[in-house]
Chain A
Amino acid sequence: MRLLFSLACAATLTVGALRADDLVVRAGTIHPCGGEAALTGGAAIWIQDGKILAVGKDVDAPIGTPELDFGSAAVIAPGMVATKSSYGPRGDAARSAAPFVQAIDAFDPYGTYNSALRAGVTSVFLAPGSGERLIAGQGAVVKLAGEDRATRTLKGSTGITGSIASGARFAPGFWEPRLPATVDVGLGFENRQFPRTVMGAVVALRELMSFAAGKGDFSSEYGSEAGEVLGELIRAKSVWRMRAQTDEEVSALIELFQGTEMQLVIEGLEMAPDSAARLQAAGHKVIYQVTQPTLANYGKEADKERPDPTVAAGLANAGVPFAIQAWSPTSLRFAAALAMRGGLGAETALEAITYQAAQALQVADRVGSLKAGMDADLVVYNGAPMDVASSVLVTLVDGKVAYDAEEVARRLNEKSAMKGGPLAGRDPLGALPRRATVLSVEELHLGNGEVLSPGEILINQGRIVEAGRRVSRPSGAKVVTGFAAMPGAVDVLGHLGMEGQTPSISKSFEMRRMVEPGDRVDREVALAGTTTVNMTASNQPQQTTTLTYKPAGLDVDRMVVRNRGSLILGWPSGSTAGLLHKEKEYSAKWTEYAKKLSEWKAKPKKSEAEKEEDEEKEDEAKDEESKEESSKKKKKKKSKKRPEAINVTGTFEGELTLGDESAQKARLRIMESEDGSLQGTLRTADYPDLVYLEGTRDEYKIVLDAQTTEGGMRLGLELNFTDNEAEKPLLEGQRLFRGVTHEFSLPRVSTDYPVAKRPAMAEEEEKPKEKSGKPSPPTVDPLLEMLRDARKGKASIFVRVDRQDHIRSCVDAFAAAGIKPVLVSASEVNAVVASVRGRIAGVILTGSPVTTMNRGLVTYNRYASLQSAGIPVAFASFAEEGAAGLVDVATMAASQDWSPQGAMRALTSDAAKILSLSGKVGSLEAGNGADVLLLDGPPLVPSTRILNVWVNGREVQR
């Protein structure tokens, strides 16, 4: 028994020391407010039972206490106190003095206050109405979150709330229906209510005070209750909170309350720039109302005043402590920042919306500052609280999370994955970071040679949204600080992703099928700084293409930057020359096709049918041989007798026969453009996503291609007609997908193409020459297509060439074809700089770019020299996981007669330029993919370490 007892004791002790509801919150900076100086360089708050137990550089919480560490960039400040809100009752009392109206009656503890909590406001004042009455009633102060109504009610009654401002001087007439409303009695009429002017308001308040004190009966003016309730409130030494907007109104209030025992809080002062000294002398509490920026007309008369945001600065200079209130709790921080105009300090502004606001509402003993014993209502920001670019990460009320930006982002992600939003299906891991990230560094190297110091980039949904010295911090943005940031390096030619000496691969092979997300080696390369690789087989045949991809991308779709990234050719080489020649013919074909197509007009349907009929008759006349033969011919005729190959735009719905003979629904939508190209979508049951197809047609033959996350898809279809009627077209054929062939049969159900406008069917005559009427496009050759693209600057052609004379002839040949090649290897290019400048897209050297000359007395950096001559250069690894060394190689190159900035360009923006990928990778510009390296020192300096790497906006995990 004894033993058991002691064991139980021990258990209790442990529980006592380590309490489940204890919490330690850490951040880089804590603003305790209430006159206390900010704690910087890391500080903590210990919370127990919803109360603050300790605040300091560190706290003595027992080991094992749950901790929330928001990092060094985060700032904690007290939950803001809004001295104005719309959460109280809506609508005013009928009487101009209604002290009996209690705002707390309208408190809805079951309501949601997300927008305010998200803005960092944890406590609000509930006004007894819209504030447009001389005495509107009694206000209240409540917390916006929490379980228990009683603890959430900070102040059931803050005393008398009223106004002598213009709004309150126009109370509507008061009318009470008489009962019974007979002819004798009448319905009564509206009694005009006092006051109309400031002096009227002063008189009315004096009358009410006398009425409350039992001197004089003003029940007919203000109602019998007013005096009674006001008397009780005054006897209980209630605080008066009175609104006054102008200097006159402020003076009137000060004079009215002079010599009385009554406490006064003056609220408003929007148009009272000259009252600071008087207020200082009177010693009343002040709440300054910041006016919402509007385009309102305040009037042109000389005495018309506009709200002045510098009033707050004037108050601060005069030594008047004041709170700041906004038009709405959600704008409180913005309003305080606006009030800083005129020289108000950030510390004072923050105090004005926390501690001073709590003071003005008589709740400073519980909220408004972070001190031991206070309620644990605090806000974690991702930057300085008074910097409106920062936003709220977490709001705690009574030590419990009332708003969590990360949680909201996570749930939003879940929702879009669930609801078939833009990310549905493609983001099964919920990995697309909805939550914005801000990288804030001392040196931001954009990659194109520009350096911003300090600099920041805002990353959202995988892209760089903003880059500059200072960027916005959207709600819940995570801020990461560091010394420097630069774009991820681009390996312009490497073999990462290939396995050893991979035999050469066919030029028609889809290389994107080789990459696989989540590969450990790929990730390591990315973590070493190389985030984009232009990959090809190490054993290259004469003509080969590359795949440009991001090794640490999350899925194939986002890994692949460009399938067929560049075409690698050799020089001198007959095949390359031949290819250039072929390209000329090929391009000519396309030009001709384009020309034909522009001239082509669809033939009218009727004439075609008539013609066929005639032909048939002729044929029948001719065929007077054996019955068998004739029937055969007829059959042939029949099959030939198809309606004209009509425009296939429309929706086709039918079935897809799967391998196991089961059929599944399929819907194909096609739009045929006037140039004969087809585009459309396919929805099938066996693939979760909509497939976007593109293709061409040759009369009845239609070929559509698509890329899916599971590889390519090809539809080979034939246009048929049910009952040989042109109105009932049918697409039949096969689908090749995942290496399996499936049969299709899809009748057209509609001629609508829901996304785009259906091209109008031309009804004019066509050239008699072609039967179908439509010119057919030339066959697409992928390699020649790349050459064509290169001419337009949409693809890059790498040419392996070495000797100077070869370089010359190569550049000449390509210039003739209108293409700027990228010279690979090109060891003698430095000798012919003058003749190639402006005619090539760049140079990629093999081996060290630095050569030693004159027996080691002189070093010569070939890259530096080319770059200074205006020729873009880039680093290529020619290796697999060796790409991980790319940044270090560049660092070394930069140290030898070159500059880190020059090497940076070669490593990032120029590399992207060489790959014709500017605007996608290689620089930290808005719109680019967010591939960023965070460094602990200046970039391309040997002592600098890469701390974190983001690829497509997502941090690569080690």
Chain B
Amino acid sequence: MKRFPKKATLALSLLCSALTLALPAEAGEKQAIKAGTIITMDGDPIVDGVILMDSGRIVAVGASADVEIPWDAEVTEAPDMVAVPGFVEAHSNNGMDRTNETIDMGAFFDVQDSVNPVAFYFEDSLRYGITTINIQQGNQCVVAAQGAIVKPFGATVAQQLVRPHAGLKMSVTAKRGKSRATQAAALRKAFGDLRSHLEKLVDEHKKGDDRARREALAQGRDYDGEDGKGRAMTGKGWTLEGMENIPRVEIDEKLAPLLKVVEGRMAVYMYCGSPAEVHTALNIARENGFLHRMIFVLGSGCFKAADEIAAAKVPVILSRTLVHTERDPITSEETLTFEAKVFQDKGVAFALTSNNSGLESLWYQAALCVGQGMARKDALASITTSPAKILGLENRVGVLKPGADANVVLYTGDPLSVTSHVNLVFIDGQPVYDRSKDVRLQHLMDGEQPKGTAPSDEEEGEMHAGEGPSDDDKKGEGSDSKGDK
């Protein structure tokens, strides 16, 4: 197996104190992985195959006999391992400092501003083979922030970003202090407010009032770009005459993202916690023309409304609770419903999520599906290609094919087995995680004191050499972890 440089820059080691990983820049541009099995999610698995990566993209995937490895590529030999595309988390509230905002109408918020690149969550994601994450605001909202699709690696949010402004989060389920009806009213009000704002702008323009223009200029909004000019409004729900005269930059920034939604230019992640709310959500989406851009983020039990969801052709992101339990009022007998199967049977596109849980991470959810009788192929698709399609990244992530992002996870065995684990992760063609160098994991498994966590840096060496609390840990836990291995 190939070894890559151990040394990390001071800056990074300070940032990710426990994560002593290589900086992408230090590895070569060309990378090749020779894996025992490659599950491409684009055709049958390849036995004894090669993945060739160049400049962050996959160049070739095929049997080792068919793919020629360039002389200057760094080769990772993994004959016993299984290569899979990095998993795609379709919806997560982790990685932010806080998940929810208090105000009802928060479309102008941006999740990017809240992401913390050194959150342990991202490190954990790598351990579980997740390489793409759609971070959205929490479910306690009416209209919430614009989300961001990131990869769990990078020292800054800019480095992490895969796609900014990736959809708007909304909720049709009552947030705290609201009832189901007032929640729906608040959602409708958001669009009503947009409409009356636009009507006012059009009206003012007709009267020759340039208040909006003066305001925009005063705030230093950019008139040079596409939005500096007026554009006729499109949209499947409602449109407004006269919008062609209103430069988009003059629209209230608080409401502008909603206009994108109405015009179908921005996806909506609609949280729906109960089947009773599905109907209202679909109605609001239809009224405002974003039905085709809506993705349901469902709570447990929503399979009951699967018919309505299927008829509306809305893809769904399932809750962590894959098996819904209901008790008979008389016999207390439990009826267990495997929700993914219901949606699958009705032809609804679905993705699994871990719902921010490390224990029930994506691989586990998929394994659970297999346990419930789902085909392995479909279970794997529901954490790779299916969420990628929902995020509109089907050609970039969740699949190992030429042209796709070089996000590869090397498993020690079957990715859906509890006995195998993630050994190596490549993101954008660069090795970003190596289990053998995962100090936090080593600390957990072997009781080894992670670097940088000792009381003082000077004593670090001594600490490992002998006395101190870490030594006790070592003695105490060593035998256990060996047994685990």
Contacts and interface: CB of A to CB of B under 8 A. Distances in A.
Interface of A: 88-94, 98, 100-103, 105-112, 114, 128-129, 137, 149, 177, 179, 224-225, 408, 411-412, 414-415, 418-419
B178 A108 contact: no
Interface string B148-190: 0000000000000000000000000010011111111100110
Nearest to A100: B185
Given A100-B189, A411-B330, A418-B331, A110 B184 contact: no
B330 A408 contact: yes
Contacts of B192: 225
B180 A105 contact: yes
B179 A129 contact: yes
Interface in B30-63: none
A99 to B, nearest CB: 10
Nearest to A138: B181
Contacts of A88: 181
Nearest to B305: A110
Nearest to B279: A149
B179 A91 contact: yes
Nearest to A111: B276
A105 B331 contact: no
Interface of B: 102-103, 174, 177-185, 188-189, 192, 196, 254, 274-276, 279-280, 301, 304-305, 329-332
B311 to A, nearest CB: 12
Contact of B182 (A89, A107, A224): A89
Given A105-B280, A108-B274, A110-B305, A91 B185 contact: no
A415 to B, nearest CB: 5
Contact of A415 (B196, B274, B330): B330
Given A105-B280, A149-B279, A179-B103, A137 B180 contact: no
A111 B275 CA distance: 9
B179 A89 contact: yes
Contact of B329 (A93, A102, A114): A114
B189 A110 contact: no
A102 B331 contact: no
Given A110-B275, A149-B279, A224-B196, A92 B182 contact: yes
Given A100-B189, A107-B276, A89 B180 contact: yes
Contacts of A107: 276
Contacts of A418: 331
Contacts of B332: 415
Contacts of B254: 179
Given A111-B276, A177-B102, A408-B330, A137 B178 contact: no
A414 B254 CA distance: 60
Of B174, B276, B301, most A-chain CB atoms within 10 Å = B276
A105 B103 CA distance: 21
Given A225-B192, A408-B330, A414-B331, A106 B276 contact: yes
Given A179-B254, A225-B192, A415-B330, A91 B276 contact: no
A113 to B, nearest CB: 12
B331 A411 contact: yes
A94 B331 CA distance: 42
Q: Which of A101, A107, A137 has the most chain B CB atoms closer than 10 A to its own CB?
A: A101
A701 B188 CA distance: 84
Contact of A90 (B179, B189, B279): B179
Contacts of B329: 112, 114
B330 A103 contact: no
B279 A89 contact: no
- From B103, B180, B304, name the one whose CB has the most chain A CB atoms within 10 angstroms: B180
A751 B184 CA distance: 64
Contacts of A92: 179, 182
B331 A415 contact: yes
A468 to B, nearest CB: 31
Contacts of A90: 179-180
Contacts of B196: 224
A112 B276 CA distance: 12
B290 to A, nearest CB: 18
A114 B183 CA distance: 27
A52 B304 CA distance: 30
Given A109-B276, A112-B329, A91 B304 contact: no
Contacts of A224: 196
B180 A106 contact: yes
A89 B179 CA distance: 5
A98 B301 CA distance: 31
Contacts of A100: 185, 188-189
Contacts of A110: 274-276, 301, 304-305
B253 to A, nearest CB: 11
Contacts of B180: 89-90, 105-106
A98 B331 contact: no
A592 B380 CA distance: 85
Contacts of B184: 102, 105-106
A108 B275 CA distance: 8
7 tightest Cβ-Cβ pairs between the two chains A and B? A108-B276, A89-B179, A89-B181, A106-B180, A105-B184, A91-B179, A110-B304
A112 B188 CA distance: 28
B279 A128 contact: no
A179 B253 CA distance: 12
A324 B275 CA distance: 32
Contact of A98 (B102, B103, B185): B185
A107 B275 CA distance: 10
5 contacts: A91-B177, A93-B182, A101-B181, A101-B182, A105-B185
Specify which of B102, B274, B279 lies most central, judged by the most chain A CB atoms within 10 Å of its CB. B279
B364 to A, nearest CB: 28
A411 B330 CA distance: 7
A229 to B, nearest CB: 9
Given A105-B180, A106-B179, 18 more contacts: A89-B179, A91-B182, A93-B182, A93-B185, A106-B181, A106-B276, A108-B274, A109-B279, A110-B301, A110-B304, A110-B305, A129-B181, A149-B279, A179-B254, A408-B330, A411-B330, A414-B331, A415-B332
A396 to B, nearest CB: 20
A643 B181 CA distance: 78
B283 to A, nearest CB: 8
A107 B177 CA distance: 18
A98 B330 contact: no
Contacts of B279: 109, 149
Contacts of B174: 89, 91
A256 to B, nearest CB: 25
Nearest to B192: A225
Contacts of B178: 91
B240 to A, nearest CB: 16
Most chain B beta-carbon neighbours within 10 Å: one of A94, A102, A103, A414: A102
A245 B305 CA distance: 40
Nearest to B302: A110
B327 to A, nearest CB: 11
Contact of B181 (A105, A177, A408, A414): A105
Contacts of A108: 274-276
A101 B330 contact: no
Nearest to A418: B331
B48 to A, nearest CB: 51
A811 to B, nearest CB: 59
A529 B305 CA distance: 58
A89 B182 CA distance: 8
Contacts of B181: 88-89, 101-103, 105-106, 128-129, 137
A224 B275 CA distance: 32
A270 to B, nearest CB: 25
A407 to B, nearest CB: 9
Nearest to A105: B184
A132 to B, nearest CB: 12
B372 to A, nearest CB: 22
A245 B185 CA distance: 28
Contacts of A414: 331
Contacts of A114: 329
Contacts of A225: 189, 192
